[in-house]
């Protein structure tokens, strides 16, 4: 439909001016691309779609100027001499050229470029007034076509993601019914396509009771803001067991009750977290037992040295002092080992990390 409209506008531009050819140029991220081309063949005007980068030439120079200044440019036998500051313009020796900017909300989105074999008298002020109306319509058509392409690309990406069945994707009525779903979500819950087709599948029924109050708050937030940041919850499987999921929700624009939901099964991550916690508990127990044994042995050795110092103090004070110094050294070493062990016990686990 957009191609038909653009073709009609190009054809009207050639009919209005009797030009031999015309190009509709679109500016995409700073790159000039030819969107459509019209060519006069005897009494017939042929329009075809194109998607080519505009090469360096007189056309490119004119287009750059028009898009930068948002002013129209006419080059013919009477005007091209005024443009001799650009060597590309000086190369234009015969014929006429007209380039008008396509403006949308005061921004240049492209240009209409018309060319004629005649040196002058083609692109008159009266004809340019009509052409400006045509290019305003063409600008709207280009912007609308760009939005349609972007929407189609997003829809195609979403379809590929859903069909890939990497994560569960389903469409819900926020009041309860599940309207559509990919196979990944059904498989996650142990459901069949027939369960969905029956029309009786409701996400509210699949939600365990303790999660329902939080879900009510989330539904209100989706209605208010249109989306939810990723969060965790659980669903009932068909066999009554539970599956933990990481979810995200986005409400459809223009609807307060329908939304698309992304659900990732995180049962394995949860299992890995549990194993990591158990492993850490075992390691902490081992470290604590080792610290207990080491401290017990050290304190027993210190007690023996204190007893020896006491016995030697009266008759052999030097030997008693040596025994006390050794006991102090053993005590300081035991304190250092205890601090290191306690630091290890308080440190965060490094074995398994789960992204949220």
Q: Which residue has the tokens 């052409």?
A: 131
Q: Are 32 and 125 in contact (CB under 8 A)?
A: no
219 pLDDT more than 70? yes
What pLDDT is recorded for position 64? 83
Q: How far, in Å, CA of 149 to CA of 132, rounded?
A: 25
| Consecutive H or E run containing 260 | strand 258-265
DSSP-assigned beta bridge partners for residue 34: 25, 52
Spacing of C-alpha 136 from chain mean position:
33
Q: What is the sign of the dihedral through the CA atoms of 78, 136, 144 and 251? A: positive
Q: Are 39 and 15 in contact (CB under 8 A)?
A: no
Token pair for 334? 């035991």
Q: Which of 26-35, 168-177, 194-203 has the lowest mean pLDDT?
A: 26-35
Return the number of other C-beta atoms located less than 10 Å from residue 98's C-beta: 24
∠ CA(155), CA(157), CA(158), 5° rounding? 65
Higher pLDDT, 39 or 5: 39
Q: How far, in Å, CA of 11 to CA of 19, rounded?
A: 10
227 pLDDT more than 80? yes
What structural domains does the chain harbor?
A: 2-156 (3.30.450.40), 165-265 (3.30.450.20), 270-346 (1.20.5)
Give the single-character DSSP code of 176.
S
* pLDDT tens-digit map of 67-118: 888 888 888 766 644 443 444 444 445 678 888 888 887 788 888 888 888 8
Contacts for 250 with CB less than 8 Å, ≥ 6 apart: 226, 227, 228, 259, 260
| Whole-number percent of the chain with pLDDT over 90 | 14
| Consecutive H or E run containing 103 | strand 96-104
- Report the C-alpha dihedral over residues 145, 150, 153, 154, rounded to 10 degrees: -140
Q: Are 24 and 34 in contact (CB under 8 A)?
A: yes
Contacts for 215 with CB less than 8 Å, ≥ 6 apart: 204, 207, 233
Q: Which of 71-75, 166-170, 262-266, 271-275 has the lowest mean pLDDT?
A: 271-275
Highest mean pLDDT among 6-20, 123-137, 213-227, 259-273 belongs to 213-227
Q: How far, in Å, CA of 54 to CA of 115, rounded?
A: 15
């Amino acid at each position: 439909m957009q191609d038909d409209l653009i073709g009609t506008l190009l054809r009207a531009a050639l009919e209005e001016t009797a030009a031999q050819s015309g190009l509709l140029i679109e500016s995409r991220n700073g790159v000039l691309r030819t969107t459509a081309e019209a060519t006069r063949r005897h009494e017939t005007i042929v329009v075809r779609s194109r998607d080519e980068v505009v090469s360096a030439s007189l056309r490119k120079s004119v287009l750059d100027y028009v898009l930068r200044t948002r002013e129209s440019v006419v080059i013919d036998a009477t005007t091209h001499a005024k443009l001799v500051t650009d060597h590309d313009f000086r190369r234009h020796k015969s014929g006429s050229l007209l380039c008008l900017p396509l403006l949308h909300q005061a921004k240049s989105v492209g240009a209409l470029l018309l060319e004629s074999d005649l040196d002058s008298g083609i692109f008159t002020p009266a004809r340019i007034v009509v052409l400006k109306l045509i290019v305003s319509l063409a600008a709207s058509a280009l912007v609308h076509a760009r939005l349609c392409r972007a929407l189609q690309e997003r829809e195609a990406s979403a379809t590929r993601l859903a069909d890939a069945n990497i994560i569960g994707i389903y469409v819900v009525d926020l009041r309860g019914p599940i309207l559509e779903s990919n196979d990944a979500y059904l498989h996650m819950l142990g459901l069949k396509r027939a369960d969905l087709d029956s029309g009786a599948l409701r996400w509210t029924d699949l939600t365990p009771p303790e999660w329902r109050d939080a879900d009510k708050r989330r539904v209100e937030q989706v209605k208010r803001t249109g989306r939810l940041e990723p969060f965790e919850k659980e669903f009932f499987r068909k066999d009554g067991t539970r599956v933990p999921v990481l979810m995200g929700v986005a409400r459809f624009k223009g609807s307060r009750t329908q939304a698309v939901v992304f659900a990732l099964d995180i049962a394995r991550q949860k299992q890995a977290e549990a194993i990591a916690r158990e492993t850490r508990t075992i390691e902490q127990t081992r470290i604590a037992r080792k610290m207990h044994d080491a401290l017990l042995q050290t304190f027993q050795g210190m007690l023996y040295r204190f007893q020896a110092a006491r016995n030697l103090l009266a008759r052999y004070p030097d030997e008693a002092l040596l025994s006390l110094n050794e006991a102090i050294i053993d005590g300081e070493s035991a304190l250092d080992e205890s601090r290191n062990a306690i630091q290890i016990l308080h440190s965060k686990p490094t074995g398994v990390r789960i992204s949220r």
